[in-house]
């Protein structure tokens, strides 16, 4: 049985939720899926950040 589907569902459940990061409270805005089904995880820092810092963009809580 492939556990990839349950992992994907669990990771997607974080979208639109607030998580703690090194930058403070942040809103999760996306995930990245790796081809080959090896793993699926939240996007990491870089041009395609997976979260938005609520300290920098507090209006997202409005």
Distance separating alpha carbons of residues 25 and 55, to the nearest angstrom: 7
Q: What is the mean pLDDT of residues 3-14?
A: 66
Residue 17: per-residue pLDDT: 82
Evaluate whether 42 touches 28 at the Cβ level (below 8 Å): yes
Domain boundaries, the chain: 4-61
Give the three-state DSSP class for 20: strand
Evaluate whether 32 touches 39 at the Cβ level (below 8 Å): no
CA distances from 34 to 12, 15, 19, 27 (A): 14, 17, 22, 22
Read off the pLDDT band of 26 (50, 70, 90). confident
| 33 compared with 25, residue with greater pLDDT | 25
DSSP 8-state assignment for residue 58: G
Query: Which tokens go with 16?
Result: 């639109």
């Amino acid at each position: 049985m492939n556990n990839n589907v349950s992992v994907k569902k669990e990771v997607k459940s974080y979208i639109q939720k607030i998580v703690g990061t090194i930058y403070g409270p942040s809103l999760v805005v996306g995930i990245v899926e790796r081809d080959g089904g090896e793993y699926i995880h939240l996007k990491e820092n870089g041009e395609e950040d997976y979260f938005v810092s609520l300290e920098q963009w507090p209006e997202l809580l409005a």
